[in-house]
Amino acid sequence: MIVTIQKPLGEILDFIAPYKSVMVVGCDGCTQPPRGIREAKTLAQLLELGGRLRDKEFEFRVNTLVKQCDSHLTATALKETMDSGVEAVLSLACGLGPQTIVRLYPEVPVFPVQNTVFLGAEEREAGITEERCAACGDCILGLTGGICPIARCAKSLLNGPCGGSQNGKCEIGQDRDCAWALIIERLEKLGKLQNLEVIQPPKNYGVVKRPAKISP
Amino acid sequence: MSEHTTEAKVAVKIEEDSCSRCTICASLCPFDALRKDAEKDKTILDIEKCQVCGLCYAACPSHIIDILYYDVDSLTRYLKRAKKQYASDTLVIMCKGSAPDLAGIEKLFGVAKFIPLTVPCVGRIPEDVFLKAIIMGIKRIYVLACDEDYCRYDHGSPVEGRRIMALNLMLSQLGYGKEAIVLKRNSLKVKANSDLCIGCGNCVFYCPWSAPTLASPGLVKVDLGKCHGCGLCVSMCPAFALDLDNWEKDRISMLISQLATEMASPKILALCCQWAMFPDLDEKSNSHTRYIFLPCAGRADTAHIVEAFVKGIDGVLIVACAEDDCKLEGAGGKVQQPISTLKGRLGQIGYGERIGFCTISPRYPEAFANELSQFSEKIANIGKGK
């Protein structure tokens, strides 16, 4: 899932200060935490309260889309509301959402509500969400026992661990597991410790030409 | 939370010296709060374990247990008052845990006009109350208990079932017909609308009974046999795809609108777990405070809290049970996190101090009054919201 953090309400209020009719669009897709209709409605109400303190009255229209990064779905779902006259849009999706809407409605200002931070997995019981994939374009999980050193090692080492690994923790903070300690532990369980004897050549980050694009 | 000294007023007391030592109370108590002390030859009440269900009070043959809420005297006073107020000779006694709205009662029992009496567990209603009601001229008595497996006090619903059976036997011998008191059982459950489900899995994670399942994305299913109706999943669903019988979102929203208009500023709305705080039947209403009783603090939905502020409420106090007292497997404690997140966000726009959260128990009747007066004072000092 794509992990996001909400921007401070003051920043959002500043975005929409010049406008009255504002659409708040949630995203039911992979945005984490879920930014669906509940969040869209709650945000509109919080902004209404915040607006009152600034003597500013907004007219919010609240909506949620299946996934804002799909141009066709978004275009069809937004058409009616956009045609009825909306001065600005607040998107609750990851950074992809606002950009999809901007392409569809180039004349309407679109603002992000969320700061998009990483591709993460949620450990429900522990109550944490952690970065686990760096979208590098050349997956090496098959060699590393299913644990990604690109995303989970602070140095993205291919031949770890480094000297900063102590008691399974990373030198940048005791709250962070050393990815390579996890990899070794895992390979040991799998009986694949010999994987470590092969020195991995420097990673070819050129596999994905940035900005990346895929066409059929 | 306030500190309780040994002098703190308690809701249940036992006159140890007059006790006949029959130990019926100890055998009924679902929380092991009562036990016979063989050495002292006394029945001892451990108030810290007591949940004020009243089962012991209703069952004690020597009438030596005093209970603050819904005792025979206050119930009799209420019945006298309510008989006139509702101009009816039909009484419906409902457990809070299973009572649908009044329209639902009409459907369940086929009665349109009736005297409603909602209590936390019907198991606390002793024979005296039924007999006094009949003497008062009440012609029909209906009792709505929770399905036995869902009784928040374990034995309340089954015990009252047996009590009513025995009463009916007696009453039929006196010529009051075969079923003078009609008992029905009900429980309130979650309703899932999979058309709205976005497959996030919150309900599956949070449900204490593993009632919801998510077989494929967007297809939530709830095993109603497992659902205990706490409403936590409803409060956690980001897609509003779940709702709870009797505590539907629309119904709570309507209630908030209605209460907001009838209150005087500063307006305080208390969202109370119905097992944490019992209202006094005789209490006069205070024009600044209104209550919405929830099936569990787990149904204290952040959406309704924000909505209350938008509708002009000045302060919202969430009243929950402490973790050890929760009747619903800790569901009530799980909402603390979303509520504190909301408090942080409200803080960014100057509303943060307008949310209060407290954990109390009806065993200390003054605890809620103290929390409410402190919170009310704080809100009065902040002043009116815009």
User: Which chain A residues are within 8 Å of B349, Cβ to Cβ?
Assistant: 9-10, 13, 46, 49-50, 53
Inspect the interface and report whether the beta carbons of B240 and A53 lie closer than 8 Å: no
The domain locations on chain A are: 2-117, 138-201
**Which of the two residues, A85 and A20, has the higher pLDDT score?**
A20
Say yes or no: domain A2-117 is CATH 3.40.190.10.
no
The predicted pLDDT at position B100 comes to: 78
Rg of chain A over Cα atoms, rounded to whole angstroms, equals: 22
Residue B211: inside a domain, yes or no? Answer: yes
Inspect the interface and report whether the beta carbons of A34 and B386 lie closer than 8 Å: no
**pLDDT > 80? residue B4:** no
Candidates B200, B310, B348; nearest CB to A9: B348
* Interstrand relation of A128-133 and B12-14 (parallel, antiparallel or unpaired): unpaired
User: Which chain B residues are within 8 Å of A9, Cβ to Cβ?
Assistant: 345, 348-349
What is the tens place of the pLDDT at every residue in B327-353? 999 999 999 999 999 999 999 999 999
**pLDDT > 80? residue A64:** yes
The predicted pLDDT at position B282 comes to: 79
Domain boundary among B26, B42, B67: B67
Candidates A13, A28, A41; nearest CB to B198: A28
Residue B181 structure tokens: 């008191």
**Which of the two residues, B376 and B281, has the higher pLDDT score?**
B376
Residue B221: inside a domain, yes or no? Answer: yes
For residue B386, the distance in angstroms to the closest alpha carbon of chain A comes to: 6
Say whether both B239 and B262 belong to one domain. Answer: no
User: Which chain B residues are within 8 Å of A64, Cβ to Cβ?
Assistant: 239
Domain boundary among B51, B67, B83: B67
Mean pLDDT, all residues of chain A: 95
Residue B3: inside a domain, yes or no? Answer: no
The predicted pLDDT at position B1 comes to: 45
Say whether both B341 and B326 belong to one domain. Answer: yes
The predicted pLDDT at position B219 comes to: 84
The predicted pLDDT at position B296 comes to: 96
**pLDDT band at residue B212, thresholds of 50, 70 and 90?**
very high
Residue with the two structure tokens 């307006």: B267
What 3-state class would DSSP assign to A2? strand
Candidates A36, A52, A53; nearest CB to B238: A36
Cβ of residue A8 closer than 8 Å to a chain B Cβ: yes
**pLDDT band at residue B154, thresholds of 50, 70 and 90?**
very high
Cβ of residue A45 closer than 8 Å to a chain B Cβ: yes
What is the tens place of the pLDDT at every residue in B311-331? 999 999 999 999 999 999 999
Cis amide bond preceding B266, omega within 30: yes
Say whether both B28 and B142 belong to one domain. Answer: no
What is the tens place of the pLDDT at every residue in B95-113? 999 987 888 888 889 998 9
* Interstrand relation of B140-146 and B90-95 (parallel, antiparallel or unpaired): parallel
Among chain B residues, the shortest Cα distance to A37 is held by B239
The predicted pLDDT at position B280 comes to: 84
CATH number at residue B229: 3.30.70.20
For residues B266-274, average pLDDT:
96
How far is residue A46 from each of residues A39, B155, B305, measured CA to CA in Å? 10, 44, 11
Inspect the interface and report whether the beta carbons of A49 and B306 lie closer than 8 Å: yes
Say whether both B347 and B272 belong to one domain. Answer: yes
Inspect the interface and report whether the beta carbons of A37 and B303 lie closer than 8 Å: no
Per the CB < 8 A criterion, the answer to whether B182 and B164 are in contact is no
Contact residues, A window 144-203, toward B, CB-based 8 Å cutoff: none
Domain that holds residue B44: 12-67
Per the CB < 8 A criterion, the answer to whether A64 and A25 are in contact is yes
Residue B274: inside a domain, yes or no? Answer: yes
Residue B222: inside a domain, yes or no? Answer: yes
The predicted pLDDT at position B76 comes to: 95
Number of separate domains in chain B: 4
B305-337: buried (b, 16+ CB within 10 Å) or exposed (e) per residue?
Answer: bbbbbbbbbbbbbbbbbeeebbbbbbbbbbbbe
Domain boundary among B186, B206, B228: B186
Q: How many angstroms separate the CA atoms of A129 and A132, rounded?
A: 9
What is the tens place of the pLDDT at every residue in B155-208? 999 999 999 999 999 999 999 988 899 999 999 999 999 999 999 999 999 999
Say whether both B55 and B81 belong to one domain. Answer: no
Cis amide bond preceding B238, omega within 30: no
What predicted TM-score, i.e. pTM, was given to this entire model?
0.93
Per the CB < 8 A criterion, the answer to whether B148 and B158 are in contact is yes
What is the tens place of the pLDDT at every residue in B275-289? 999 988 877 788 999
Alpha helices in A36-148 (DSSP H): 37-53, 71-83, 96-104
Say whether both B327 and B282 belong to one domain. Answer: yes
**pLDDT > 70? residue B41:** yes
What 3-state class would DSSP assign to B175? coil
Inspect the interface and report whether the beta carbons of A46 and B306 lie closer than 8 Å: yes
Residue with the two structure tokens 């909400």: A6
Say whether both B285 and B171 belong to one domain. Answer: no
Candidates A6, A34, A46; nearest CB to B198: A34
Exposed/middle/buried for residue B20 (C-beta within 10 Å: 0-12, 13-18, 19+): exposed
Cβ of residue B204 closer than 8 Å to a chain A Cβ: no
What 3-state class would DSSP assign to B354? helix
Say whether both B168 and B195 belong to one domain. Answer: no
Residue B273 structure tokens: 């777990």
Say whether both B161 and B111 belong to one domain. Answer: yes
Alpha helices in chain B (DSSP H): 24-28, 55-59, 72-86, 102-109, 127-135, 156-173, 202-206, 232-236, 249-262, 302-310, 331-334, 336-348, 365-382
User: Which chain B residues are within 8 Å of A45, Cβ to Cβ?
Assistant: 306-307, 309-310
> B114: which residues sit within 8 A by CB, 6+ positions away?
B86, B88, B90, B91, B92, B105, B142
Mean pLDDT, all residues of chain B: 93
Say whether both B378 and B255 belong to one domain. Answer: yes
What ipTM was estimated for this complex? 0.91
**pLDDT band at residue A170, thresholds of 50, 70 and 90?**
very high
A133-153: buried (b, 16+ CB within 10 Å) or exposed (e) per residue?
Answer: eeebeeeeeebbbebbbbbbb
For residues B73-93, average pLDDT:
95
**pLDDT > 70? residue B85:** yes
Residue B58: inside a domain, yes or no? Answer: yes
What is the tens place of the pLDDT at every residue in B124-148? 999 999 999 999 999 999 999 999 9
Residue with the two structure tokens 């007696």: B170
The predicted pLDDT at position B101 comes to: 80
Per the CB < 8 A criterion, the answer to whether B151 and B275 are in contact is no
What is the tens place of the pLDDT at every residue in A175-209? 999 999 999 999 999 999 999 999 999 999 889 99
Cβ of residue A126 closer than 8 Å to a chain B Cβ: no
